[in-house]
Structure 1
Amino acid sequence: MLGVLALCAVPASAQTPAAAAATAKTHRFDLPAASLAETLRAISRVSGVTITFDSESVAGKRAPAVSGTLMLSDALAMAIGDNDVEARATATGYWVAVANKLDTVFVVARRDQAETSFKADRSDTATRSGSDLMEIPGGVTIITSKVLETQQMTSIQNALANVSGMSFKQSPQGSPTFGIRGFGETALMVNGVADNSAAMSNVFGVERIEVLKGPQAILTGAGSLGGGVNVVIKKPQAAPIRSMMLQYGSHGDLTVAGDVAGAVTEDRRLSMRVIAAHSQARDNAAGFDGRKDDSFLPQLRWKDQTTDLIVGASYGKQHGPVPLYTFGRRDGVIMPVPELMLGRPEDGFETRQRRAFYQLEQVLSPSVTLISRLNRSLQDTEVHVRSPAGLGYATGAANDAPNGSVLFFAGRSEQNQNSTSGDHYLRILGSTGQVTHKLSLGFDHTETRLHQPQWSGPNTTVKVYPPATGAPFGDLRADASTLSNILDQKATQYDTFLQDLMNWGDWSLLANLRSTRYANESTVLIPPATVSVSPQKVVRRTTPGVGLVYSLTPEVSLYTNYAEGFVPSTLPSCDGGFVPPKSTRNREVGAKFDLFDSKLSVTTAAYELAQSNTTVYYRPGNCYNVRDAQLARGVEVDAQGQVTRGLNALFNYTFTTAKDVGNPAANYTGLPKHKMSLWATYDLQDAAWRGLGFGVGVSASSNSKGTTDARYMLYVPGQAQIDASVFYNNGPWSTTFGVKNIGNRLLYATTAGSSFIPVMERRNYMLTIKRDFK
C-alpha cells in the first residue's frame, strides 16, 4: 500500500520528537468509511495531533473504515490506503499531500485555500488553536478571496452582506456601520489582533474575512457584544505570483491592481509579496465626486520547520462620497429621491491608514509553540458632510404635509487615532489519560490615543421639494470654521486569558476564561477656555465561556455554547462608583455539516443573546441606573463550497427578532426579520465551452423599522435584488462582466431615522480583466 510505504519511508531522524511521541501512543479509533479529508480530521481530533492536508491533494478521495486501538502512524496508513498521497512528520504533527507538495509545509509554496475556493476549513482566530471549523463550538463564516473576486467586490462592508446575522446602518456622518445578531458593538481585528481600521482594508489584499458569531470577549476583551470580524490579509509565498488586474465600471470607476510574490532565497524559506491598487471613480449616483482608494501592502516571510515569521506594512488612502439618500415622512411615506445634490461635489469622508505589523509562530519544543502578533496602526479621518435634520413642517400642518424644506447642519470633524495592539500566547499540546488538550495561555494589550477636533457653522435651510435653484450650499470647510471642541482621549486594555480545547473520542470541549483591565481618561477643550478633565477610570472584568461539540459522524457535528461580551462604562452610578459594563450573554445550539467529500460546508445555529446593564439617566441625582434591555433571538444558516462539479455557491439566511424586555414600546431599527442571499457560479463542463461560465446572485430582506420614534410608522420596505455575471478563463487571461441590480429596481438600505434613508445603486456594470504572468 502506498500509504504504508510513505509512512515507513520517513526516516526516524527526519521525524521530530513530537511526531515520534505521537506515533508511539495508541488511541481507540472507530471511524466509518468517509472522505479522506473527513477521516483525517477525525484522526486529528481523536489523537489530539495536528494533521493538516492540501485540499486539492485529497479532493474526491475516500478512506476506508479505521477501527481498533492503533498508533497514530498506523491509523494514518490505514486511512490513506491506496490513495496517491503521503504523510510527512512535521514539528507539530503531520502534513498530508501528493508527493510534489510534501515539502510545501516547510515553505509557503502555494496559495492559501481561501484564495482558490469558496470554502475554507480552518480558523486560527476562533480558538487560537488552528482548529478545523467542525471542532469549533460556535458559528463562524469565512468569506474567501475567491468569493470576493467572483463577486467583483470593492469593499469589506459590501462583502459582509454574504454572512448571516449581519445588520447594517448608515448615517449622514459616517460610512456604513455593521452589527452582528442585532448588536452594533463589533470586535474588529486584522490577522487576529484588535484594529479599528480593519473594515477600511483594501479588498484586493484580503485573503479571507472571518465573521465570528456571538460575543468575542475571549478574543478582544471589551467592545464585543454580538460578534467579531477578523480581516486576514494575503500572505507571502514562495510559489511565484505575477498578476495584473484592470477593472472598469459604472460612473467611470477604474481600478488597476497588481500582485507580486515569490521566493527571495534559493532554499525558498524567505519569500515576499507586494500588493498595490489604485481606484478612482468619476462620480457616484448622487452626483458627488467619485470614490478614491489607494493601497500598498509589502510583506516578507521566513518559514522553515520551526519558525514562521511575517513582517509587513500597509498604507491606504480613501475618499468616500456622500451617498444617495432621501427622506421619510411622519406618516411613513418615503419621499422621491431628491433631484438636488444635497451638498457640494467635494463633500464626503477622507481616511488614511498606516499599519506596521508582525506575526510569529515559533515551535519551542515538541509540545509548545509561541504565537506573537503585533499591530501598530495610525488612522486619520475627516468628515465634511452636511447633516440633514429631516423634512420641515409648517406650523399646524398635518403629519402628511411637509413644506418641502430640509434643515442642514454645518459640521466638520477630524479624528486622529493611533493604536498599538498585540496578542501573545503559548499553544501547549498535552493529554490527561484519554483526553487531549490544546491549551492557549497568554496575554494581549491595546493602547489607543484619540485626538478629535470639531468645527461648526451656521445651519442652512434648503428647499428640496421642489429643488432650490442656484447653489444653495457653500463650501463646508469655510462655513464650518468655528471650533466647537477638542477631545483628547487615551484608552488602554490589558488582558490575560486561558483557553483549552479538550478532545475525548467524539467529544470536544472548549473552555476559556479572560481577565480584563480597561482604563480610560480624557480631556475636552471647549473654546475659548473651558477645559473638562476626566481622570483615569479603571474597569475590571472577568468573562467565562464554554462550548461543547459532539461529532455525530465525520460529516456531522452538533454543538452548544455559552459566551459573554461587554462594553466598559465610566458613567457615575446612583449606587456609587461606576455603572457596571453593558453586557451580553449568548446561548446557542447548532449543527455543522461537511458534505460532498468535504467540498461543501453548512452551519445552522439557533441563539438567544440577552443584554443587561443598559444605562438609564436619573436627573435628580445626575447619575445612572441600569436595567436589562435588548433580547435578540434568531436562526442562522450558512453554506459555502462546491455543490457539484463546476458549481460553487455561497448562501445565507437569517431569522431575527429583537425586543426590549424593559420597554416594550422601544424600536430596533435596521433589523429585518428575514434576510437571505445566494451567490453561485457555474463553469460550463462541455469541452467546447471550457473556460466559459456565469454567476447569479439573489439577495432579499423583509421590511425593517426605520425610526426609533414609536409615534411614527416609518418602515423600510422589503426588497430583493438580482445580480448576474459572465466570465471566461483562458490560460493566463480571465475576464468577468458583471451586472448588479439587473432589474434596475429602486431599493433602500436599512436606516436608523427618517432624516436619512440611503438609496441603493440602480443597475450598474463592472468589467474585470486579469492577466497572470509566469
Structure 2
Amino acid sequence: MVDSNANGHVNSAVRLRPLLALSMLLPFSISGAHANSTEENSPKVRQSRMLEEVVVTAQKRAENNQDVPISVTAFSDETLDALGISDPQDLQRVTPGLTYNTAVGFSIIYMRGIGSDAFLMADPSVALYIDGVYFPFAQGLAQNFGAVERIEVLKGPQGTLFGRNAVGGAINIHSKNPSHEPEASVQLSYGNYGTKSIRVHGSYPLSDAIAVSLSAFKSGSEPYYDGYVDGGKAISDDESDGVRAKFRWQLTDDLAFNLAGFTYNSSGPGSLLTPNTEPGQAFSTFLEGEDGYTAEFDAPVDQTLDNEVYYASVEWDLSPFSVKLLASTQFIETSYSYDYDGTSSSLVTFEARDQHADVDTAELQILSNESSWGSDWLSWILGAYYFESTQGFDPTSLQMADLDLSGGTVAGIPLPPLFVDAINSAGVLPTGYMALRALVGTESIAAFFQGTVDVTDWFTFTVGGRYQEEFREVIKSSSEFENPNGEAAYIVNYSDGRNETTYSFKPKVSFDFRPFADREFLLYLSYQEALKSATYNVVTLYDEPDYVLPEELKAYEIGVKSEWLDGQLRLNVAAFQYEQENQQVQFVSALQGGAVSFENAGGSEVDGFDFDATLQVFPSLVNDLIMTVSGAYLNGQFTDYTGARGYNEDTGLVFEGGEEGDYSGNVIPRTPEWSATLGLNKSFFFERSVIEIGADVYYNSGFYYLPQNTDASYQDEYHVVSARISYLYEPWNLRLTGFGNNLEDKKYTDGLFQTDFGVLSHLAKPVTYGLKVNWEL
C-alpha cells in the first residue's frame, strides 16, 4: 500500500486515507489522477477504528502525530464515530485536562488550567480553527461538527504558529474536502427527549481538475428541563442547522485554488436555562431556589444565532518553497433574552437584541519543501497574519423592576452612589428599562517564523517567534434610561475613540531527542511564550470604559511520545509548568459598573502532567480488543490576586477589594486536580460484517467555577459512563449504532455563574440514549 508525502512524492506507508483527505487542504497536494490510481489499487485493511493513525498539521505541515514535539490528541472521523463524539463539547469526555462548559449560550474552554470565563467582549483563551481559519467567537463554538476529516486538540500555548489568544492551546477542526471520486454519506440519529438529527455529505468531480462537495446537517431536541418561561409559556425546543460547500480547482500539478463557505443557525434556550439554585441571603425571604431539572422564569428565555463564513485559499508548490494564502470573512449575529435573577419573580431581565461581530482575516505561509536548500537537515516556515473585527452590542438592555431612587435601591439591592448621582445629574426619571451599547474594534498584524534543524539523526532543535501589533479601540460605550413618556436619556456616553496598541514578541525553543534507533521514541523539551489580547470594559451603566491588560504566559514542558511491545502500546506523557500574568477574570453584576466586566489577576501558576495510552490487550489471545487510558493532574492557583470583586458569603451582596477580595492562593476556576478517561473497544470481524462494542468512563475530581472559591461555586467530583454497540454490513457500507451517555444518570453542572441575586447554574444532560445510522454510498 502506498501514499504520498506532503510534496506529492510516493513513499511506502499505510496511511493513504488521511493524506488523501489532507491533499484538499494543504499546499502540497496530490494531483487528482495520482490520487485516483492509488486508491483503486489499495486493498482495504480491516482493523479496529481505534487504531487509525492520524496525520496532523500542528506545525502547519502534514506530519504523523507521533513525530510532532507537541502534546496533541487527535481523532479521525472514524475514531470520533467509534467514541460517540459529535460536537466540540463532547471532547472533554475523551481529553482529560480539557474543561468545556457553556453559559448563557457561550462556550467556556479551559485547557490545562488556562482559559477564560470571558463570555462577553473578550476572547477565548483556547483558539478554535476550522479548516485553518481562526474563529474568535465564544458563541456558536459548541456547534455540531458536521462531516469532518479529523480533529486535533493542541495542548499548551501555541503562540508562534497559531498566534493571538492561543495561550491555553488550540482546537483544529478539519472538515471533509472535495474528492476526485464520487462519494456520499448519510447519518441519521434519534434519541430520547425527542432528539433527531440528519447529516449528509456528498462530493463530485466536475472534471479532472475541479471537484465540489456539500455537507449539511439539521438537528433538534426537546428540553430536558421542566418548568416554564415568560411567566407561564412552555420551554421551547433547541434546533440547529448548517450547510458547508467547498470548491477545489487544481489548475496545474503545482497550483490549486480552494473556495468554501458555510452557514450555521441555531435557536432555543440551550444553556440560558440557568435557574437560581442558591439565592443570596439578602433575598432568601422572597426568592425560592430551584433544585434539579426545574426552571421557572418570569422572563422570556431564548436565543437565535446566525453565522456566515466564507474563506478561500491559494496553494502554490514552487521549486525552492511552497506558498499558501488563506483569507476569510466572517459574520455572526445573535439575539437572546434570559432571566438575570433566575427565578419566577420579576426583578431583572437581560436582553441582547443585536449582538454581532464582523471579522476579516488573512494569512500568508511560505514553507520549505523537498526542493528547498538544505531540505535534508532543515525545515522552516515564514508567515504573516492580519485580523480585523468589530464586535459588541448595539443595543443590549437591562430591565429592572422595583427601582427606587429615593431609597437608592433596585429590588432591595443598594445602588452604587455613583449610579444614583449619574441618574440625578442627568435629570432622568427612569422606568427601569436601560439600553446599553458597547462596540469594540480590533486590528492586528503579525509576522512569525519557525525553523527546525536536524543536528544529528537523533537530535533536533527548533526555534521560532512571533511579532504582533494589535490595536484595540472603543467604538461605542453608552447607557440610557427610558423615561415614563418613552423618551431616552443618556446616563453615560463614551464614544471618544479611546484606544491602546499592544506590541509583543513571543519566542519558542524546543529540543527533540530520538535516542533509540530501533524504537519509536521521541523526547522533547520546550519553552514558549504566548499572548492573549487586551480588551475594554465597554458594557457599563455609569462609569467610563476600563482598559483590561493583555494576558501573558510562559510555558515549560517536557514530554515523551513512544511505542512499545512491537507497536501494541502507544504511550505519550507530558509534564509542564505555566506562569501567567494579568489573567483576565470575568465578574457579573447588574449594578457594579456593568452587567459584565473584567479585571486582571496579577499572577497565576499551573503545574501538572497528562498522559494518554492506547493498548492492544493480549493480542495473542484476544483479537482487536483496544484499551485507551488518559489522565491529567493539575495544580493551578492564583499567586497574586488582590483587590478583587466578589459576593459576600453571608449577605450575597457585592464587595470590592479589602480582605475579602484577596484571592491569592485560591484555585484557578474550572481546573480539576484530577481528570481521567478509561475506555474499552472490541471489534468482531466476520466475512461480510463487523460488530463493535465500546464503553468509556470519564472522571472529574471537582472544581470551582469562581476565583472566589465559595462553596456555592464548587462542582463536586463526578463520573460519566457512556457505551455504544454497532453493526456494520460491509457490502452496503451500512452501520447501525445504539448508544447511551451518562448511563448512571449523574447530576452535574455544565455551567455556573453568580449574580447579585444568587448562584445561577445549568445542569448537564441526564441519561440519554438512541439509535444512529451511518450509510456511505
TM-score strictly above 0.5: yes
Which residue identity lines up with residue 398 of structure 2 in the other structure?
S
Question: Aligned ranges for residues 436-451 of structure 1 at < 5 Å?
Answer: 436-451=377-392
Partner of 1:174: 105
In the TM superposition, residue 729 of structure 1 has moved relative to its aligned partner by: 0.8
Partner of 1:569: 534
Q: What are the superposed Cα offsets for residues 399-430 of structure 1, whole Å, 9 maximum, x if unpaired?
A: xxxxxx97853001131111111221111247
**Structure 1 residue runs without a partner (length 5+):** 4-35, 60-90, 391-404, 463-479, 618-623
Change (3 A) 1:408 1:156: farther
Are 1:148 and 2:75 an aligned pair? no
In the TM superposition, residue 763 of structure 1 has moved relative to its aligned partner by: 1.6
Which residue identity lines up with residue 172 of structure 2 in the other structure?
N
1: distance between equivalents of 2:310 and 2:584? Answer: 38
Say which of 292, 295, 305 aligns to 2:239. 292
Say which of 518, 535, 559 aligns to 1:590. 559
Are 1:489 and 2:429 an aligned pair? no
In the TM superposition, residue 562 of structure 1 has moved relative to its aligned partner by: 0.8
In the TM superposition, residue 138 of structure 1 has moved relative to its aligned partner by: 1.8
Partner of 2:134: 194
Partner of 2:493: 531
Are 1:506 and 2:439 an aligned pair? no
Instruction: Indicate the percent of aligned positions where both proteins have the same amino acid.
Output: 16
Segment of structure 1 superposing worse, 273-282 or 220-229 = 220-229
In the TM superposition, residue 163 of structure 1 has moved relative to its aligned partner by: 1.6
Are 1:612 and 2:581 an aligned pair? yes
Change (3 A) 1:571 1:241: closer
In the TM superposition, residue 363 of structure 1 has moved relative to its aligned partner by: 0.5
Partner of 2:655: none
1: distance between equivalents of 2:433 and 2:346? Answer: 19
Contact residue 28 and residue 322 of structure 2 kept, 8 A:
no
2: distance between equivalents of 1:571 and 1:767? Answer: 47
In the TM superposition, residue 432 of structure 1 has moved relative to its aligned partner by: 7.7
RMSD: 4.2
Partner of 1:630: 604
Question: Aligned ranges for residues 269-284 of structure 1 at < 5 Å?
Answer: 269-284=209-224
Partner of 1:670: 670
Q: What are the superposed Cα offsets for residues 666-720 of structure 1, whole Å, 9 maximum, x if unpaired?
A: 3422221111123443222465x94222121211111223443356475321111
Question: Aligned ranges for residues 362-381 of structure 1 at < 5 Å?
Answer: 362-365=316-319, 367-381=320-334
Q: What are the superposed Cα offsets for residues 621-663 of structure 1, whole Å, 9 maximum, x if unpaired?
A: xxx9987411011111124587665345554211111111225
Question: Aligned ranges for residues 200-599 of structure 1 at < 5 Å?
Answer: 200-265=142-207, 267=208, 269-286=209-226, 288-303=235-250, 305-323=253-271, 327-328=277-278, 337-338=291-292, 340-343=294-297, 347-365=301-319, 367-388=320-341, 409-413=348-352, 414-429=354-369, 436-452=377-393, 453-459=395-401, 482-504=433-455, 505-522=457-474, 523-527=476-480, 528-529=489-490, 530-532=492-494, 533-553=496-516, 554-569=519-534, 581-594=550-563
1: distance between equivalents of 2:328 and 2:447? Answer: 18
Partner of 1:123: 56
Are 1:745 and 2:714 an aligned pair? no
Are 1:661 and 2:639 an aligned pair? yes
Question: What is the TM-score of this pair, normalised by structure 2?
Answer: 0.74
Change (3 A) 1:441 1:176: closer
In the TM superposition, residue 521 of structure 1 has moved relative to its aligned partner by: 1.2
Contact residue 35 and residue 180 of structure 2 kept, 8 A:
no
Question: What is the TM-score of this pair, normalised by structure 1?
Answer: 0.75
In the TM superposition, residue 747 of structure 1 has moved relative to its aligned partner by: 3.1
2: distance between equivalents of 1:726 and 1:258? Answer: 22
Change (3 A) 1:637 1:752: farther
Which residue identity lines up with residue 312 of structure 2 in the other structure?
Y
Q: What are the superposed Cα offsets for residues 702-752 of structure 1, whole Å, 9 maximum, x if unpaired?
A: 122344335647532111121111111113221111011222233334645
Aligned length in residues: 650
Change (3 A) 1:346 1:559: same
Which residue identity lines up with residue 74 of structure 2 in the other structure?
I
SS at the partner of 2:93?
A: helix
Q: What are the superposed Cα offsets for residues 228-278 of structure 1, whole Å, 9 maximum, x if unpaired?
A: 12221111111221222221111111112211113221x3x3222111111
2: distance between equivalents of 1:507 and 1:431? Answer: 21
SS at the partner of 2:514?
A: strand
SS at the partner of 2:78?
A: helix
Which residue identity lines up with residue 318 of structure 2 in the other structure?
L
SS at the partner of 1:158?
A: helix
1: distance between equivalents of 2:548 and 2:365? Answer: 32
**Structure 2 residue runs without a partner (length 5+):** 19-25, 116-124, 228-234, 282-287, 403-409, 412-430, 481-488, 538-545, 587-597, 642-663
2: distance between equivalents of 1:766 and 1:646? Answer: 25
Partner of 1:85: none
Q: What are the superposed Cα offsets for residues 317-347 of structure 1, whole Å, 9 maximum, x if unpaired?
A: 012424465625889xx98725643337972
1: distance between equivalents of 2:200 and 2:8? Answer: 39
Change (3 A) 1:117 1:234: farther
Q: What are the superposed Cα offsets for residues 132-160 of structure 1, whole Å, 9 maximum, x if unpaired?
A: 33332221111332233234434222234
Contact residue 92 and residue 100 of structure 2 kept, 8 A:
no
Contact residue 600 and residue 639 of structure 1 kept, 8 A:
yes
SS at the partner of 2:80?
A: helix
1: distance between equivalents of 2:133 and 2:449? Answer: 17
SS at the partner of 2:73?
A: strand
1: distance between equivalents of 2:703 and 2:346? Answer: 26
1: distance between equivalents of 2:438 and 2:27? Answer: 49
Change (3 A) 1:240 1:570: closer
2: distance between equivalents of 1:113 and 1:609? Answer: 42
1: distance between equivalents of 2:547 and 2:9? Answer: 46
Q: What are the superposed Cα offsets for residues 483-537 of structure 1, whole Å, 9 maximum, x if unpaired?
A: 5221222101100111112223122222111110100112213233443123332
2: distance between equivalents of 1:291 and 1:115? Answer: 35
Contact residue 109 and residue 239 of structure 1 kept, 8 A:
no
Q: What are the superposed Cα offsets for residues 153-177 of structure 1, whole Å, 9 maximum, x if unpaired?
A: 3422223432232123443x33341
Which residue identity lines up with residue 740 of structure 1 in the other structure?
N
Contact residue 669 and residue 751 of structure 1 kept, 8 A:
no
Partner of 1:32: none
SS at the partner of 2:90?
A: helix
2: distance between equivalents of 1:241 and 1:58? Answer: 14
Are 1:772 and 2:741 an aligned pair? no
Which residue identity lines up with residue 500 of structure 1 in the other structure?
G
Segment of structure 1 superposing worse, 524-533 or 601-610 = 524-533
Identify, as 1 or 2, the structure richer in helix. 1
Contact residue 376 and residue 419 of structure 1 kept, 8 A:
yes
Contact residue 207 and residue 232 of structure 1 kept, 8 A:
yes
In the TM superposition, residue 377 of structure 1 has moved relative to its aligned partner by: 1.0
Change (3 A) 1:289 1:426: same
Change (3 A) 1:386 1:521: same
Partner of 2:284: none
SS at the partner of 1:148?
A: helix
2: distance between equivalents of 1:633 and 1:300? Answer: 45
In the TM superposition, residue 543 of structure 1 has moved relative to its aligned partner by: 0.7
Q: What are the superposed Cα offsets for residues 439-470 of structure 1, whole Å, 9 maximum, x if unpaired?
A: 111201111111412112134999xxxxxxxx
